[in-house]
Amino acid sequence: MTQKTWGGRFSQAPSQIAQEFNASLRFDRRLALVDIEGSLAHAAMLGQQGILSPEEAEQIRQGLLAVRQEILEGRFPWREELEDVHMNLEARLTELVGPVGGKLHTARSRNDQVATDLRLWLRQELDGALEDLKALRRVLLAQAERYLEPPLILPGYTHLQRAMPLLLSHWFMAYYEMLSRDAGRLKDARARLNESPLGAAALAGTGFPIDREATAQALGFARPMRNSLDAVGSRDFVLEALAALTIGQVNLSRLAEEIVLYTTLEFGFATLPDAFSTGSSIMPQKKNADHAELIRAKAGRVLGSFVTLATLSKGLPLAYNKDLQEDKEPLFDAMDTYRASLRLLAAMLPGLVWHPEAMRQAAASGFALATELADYLAERGLPFREAHHVVGRLVRYCLEERKELHQLSLAELQSFHPLFAEDALALTHLESAIHRRRSYGGTAPEAVREAIKTAKAELEGEA
């Protein structure tokens, strides 16, 4: 038999072209192991409920285990003409155990079956992604610690204009915080999807005396889903995961972009490890940040997956529609992309070689310390707006005289405002600017040390 048939209703075999168009085996093979897990739970429950005899349930169990073995050993005879993973596994089961294999599908439909499979698969992958993410967060934390003592200083930017000096550790911790929220979103998605659609059958439930609590429990779900129509017709759990993955990838793209920038000759703050850069086929001097660029680009790709699923879900009538077969490829692709990006960054970041002198020089020039002087005047009673204005004029003077702030004499400072005294001169030094920013969440070494300590405890305390 090479053709799949749907039994008595059909007198004509499907056309080859229609069959190929309809098939999902090419990508849903990826669900094979979770599909078997679901079938094992279902068969055991059918046996317990007396819907199948104990012998039948056992025969099916043995058959499913044999099928699983074939898959694990890569010798499962996949047949494209059988449309999808579910039909393939059931057909093979029946080949192995005989007609009793056909009883597995009692009180079940592919609609609740595929919804169950996808939840199981996604739950497992979210756990994997959370592990990958944790590994990267650990790396960020380790880098933050590594560059705290002696502290590496770089300019912080707003509008990509030098704004104020920062500790490199503080910069690393900013990404740690962003990625920790990403983890929170993945966990939320996982918690909400962990309910069992199994037993919803085609859309309305079943007349067989099934035990949905039992299958839910066997599969590690928190509970059976409460509404059969919703159970088979909803994919908002995939959408939610894709939203979380999109935000995660967008955050990674920002880190990637800063790596691209900082490793240019123009910035010169860091050098990529050879193992994580590429050359040019024509320009011998080039060392390109291809991998970081790809991570930056892939944010578009993951968002594309979200948009694909949101678009196909919009206006879709209940319950199952074949449109829902199109949920898998975007999900698989987004998950693979995100996890690969996490692993790449975790491997690359520790190998970045930072250049303290170049970073320091950039942080000390370009008037990144002008705010210090404005704060100084404000602390001595001048309204901040006025102080801002005074220092603005000072900066213009420096530009005209081609001087940096730290090259100004006390007399020069005082010619702009009499409140300037000897101690103002010290403010134009990097360290003092950094050390003054002790406010909670600020860039002073003691504040950053505190942040690292908190993060470490949090990370190790996570399940």
Active-site residue numbers? 159, 280
Please tell me whether the peptide bond between 319 and the residue prior to it is cis, using omega within 30 degrees of 0: yes
Pick 309 or 413: Cβ nearer ligand ARG = 309
Residue of 346, 364, 338 lying closest to 430 (CA atoms): 364
39 in Cβ contact with 94 (< 8 Å): no
Pick 111 or 246: Cβ nearer ligand ARG = 111
Amino acid identity of residue 259, one-letter, is I
Taking the CA atoms of the chain, what radius of gyration do you get in angstroms? 31
126 in Cβ contact with 334 (< 8 Å): no
Pick 251 or 321: Cβ nearer ligand ARG = 321
Binding residues vs ligand ARG (CB under 6 A): 24, 28, 84, 110-111, 114, 320, 322, 324-325
DSSP states along 303-315: HHHHHHHHHHHTT
- Find how far residue 47's CA is from the centre of its chain: 41
Residue of 332, 401, 413 lying closest to 369 (CA atoms): 413
Pick 214 or 324: Cβ nearer ligand ARG = 324
| Minimal distance, residue 30 CB to ligand ARG, in Å | 11
* Torsion over CA: 372, 373, 374, 376 (sign): positive
Joined together, the tokens standing for residue 38 give: 């679901």
| Minimal distance, residue 5 CB to ligand ARG, in Å | 15
| Minimal distance, residue 24 CB to ligand ARG, in Å | 4
| Minimal distance, residue 239 CB to ligand ARG, in Å | 16
What is the DSSP code (8-state) at residue 325? G
| Minimal distance, residue 320 CB to ligand ARG, in Å | 5
Long-range contacts of 219-225 (CB under 8 A, 24+ apart): 219/37, 219/38, 219/41, 219/116, 219/120, 220/123, 220/194, 221/119, 221/194, 221/195, 221/196, 222/194, 222/195, 223/195, 223/196, 224/195, 224/196, 224/197, 224/198, 224/199, 225/195, 225/196, 225/197, 225/200
Q: HSE-up of 415 (CA within 13 Å, CB side)?
A: 9
Q: HSE-up of 110 (CA within 13 Å, CB side)?
A: 16
**161-167 and 353-354 beta bridge pairing:** unpaired
Pick 111 or 305: Cβ nearer ligand ARG = 111
Pick 325 or 337: Cβ nearer ligand ARG = 325
Residues with Cβ within 8 Å of residue 211, at least 6 apart in sequence:
45, 48, 49
| Minimal distance, residue 28 CB to ligand ARG, in Å | 6
C-alpha 455/C-alpha 354 separation (Å) is: 23
Q: Give the Å distances, CA to CA, from 310 to 22, 111, 304, 330.
A: 21, 20, 10, 11
Pick 87 or 294: Cβ nearer ligand ARG = 87
For residue 288, which phi and psi values (nearest 5 degrees)? -100, 150
| Minimal distance, residue 25 CB to ligand ARG, in Å | 8
- Three-state secondary structure call for residue 53: coil
Pick 232 or 362: Cβ nearer ligand ARG = 232
